[in-house]
Amino acid sequence: MFGPIQPTRYDLAFSLFGIPIRVIPWFWLAGVLLGFGLLQDQERGMVLLLIWLAVMFVSILVHELGHAIFAALFGYPPSIMLYQFGGVTLYQPTHGYTTAKAILITAAGPAFGLMLAVAAMVAMVAAGLTIGFVPGGSSLWEEALTMIISINIFWTILNVMPVLPLDGGQICREVCMAASPRKGIFVALWISVVMAAILGFGMFFLRQTFGGLMFLMMAFQNYQELQQRRAW
């Protein structure tokens, strides 16, 4: 949806559970921009920003591992790339690919993210800390756990919205195409356009400029794809 993702020689490349993973430099730059406000803390700002980057990296990686592990379980070798818009799991569906499998692979990402948030909540309770959703704890440990909870709950909620290319949009597309192979993709794209526009303007209303721009970009790109498909 955002164009091809080109690997660079500066990428961080490794494998986990036999799954190839690549992190392009723009991923870290986007993370710095998103967490830039943490630098307002004159005493701990730089440390908090580094914690934010680590938490963001782990959270998005866990999310993508959810997709990748389920794809591998179904026999479709996956790979993961983390880039400026988050992450993407790549796999080539071959034999026995069904709507149910597609939905399970897609839903596994948000499910893994929520499990990470629950694990952080359990850790906070075990440590005698109050579960919170807004960073501002007295210790760096509390800050990190709070970031994990807020990222994996808030981002998961946004990610399951029926907007392509988000997971919710992909699930919506699979359901629409299963119901109507000919017109399903048009229905899914129209849903994406309307929902992305609503969410985009809503983000601006909440003064979340980056999120607002992201959703409006998705609305525009889905509308473009809709017009291209109509011209075929």
pLDDT at residue 232 is higher than 80? no
Question: Can you give the pLDDT at residue 122?
Answer: 95
Cα–Cα distance measured from residue 23 to residue 31, given in angstroms and rounded to the nearest whole number = 12
Cα–Cα distance measured from residue 136 to residue 144, given in angstroms and rounded to the nearest whole number = 10
How would residue 135 be classed by pLDDT, with cut points 50, 70 and 90?
low
Quote the pTM value: 0.90
- For the chain, helix (H) and strand (E) counts, in that order, are 7, 4
Mean pLDDT check: name the lowest of 34-38, 40-44, 90-94, 190-194: 40-44
How would residue 14 be classed by pLDDT, with cut points 50, 70 and 90?
very high
pLDDT, averaged across the chain = 91
Question: Can you give the pLDDT at residue 144?
Answer: 92
Question: 61, 54, 50, 55: which is closest to 15 by C-alpha?
Answer: 61
Q: Which amino acid is at 79?
A: S
Element (H, E) at 86: strand 86-91
For β-strands 78-83 and 19-23, DSSP reports them as parallel
Cα–Cα distance measured from residue 64 to residue 180, given in angstroms and rounded to the nearest whole number = 29
pLDDT in tens, 136-183: 666 888 999 999 999 999 999 999 999 999 999 999 999 999 999 989
Question: Can you give the pLDDT at residue 1?
Answer: 44
Q: Where are the domains of the chain?
A: 162-232
Q: Kindly state the percentage of the chain with pLDDT values over 70.
A: 96
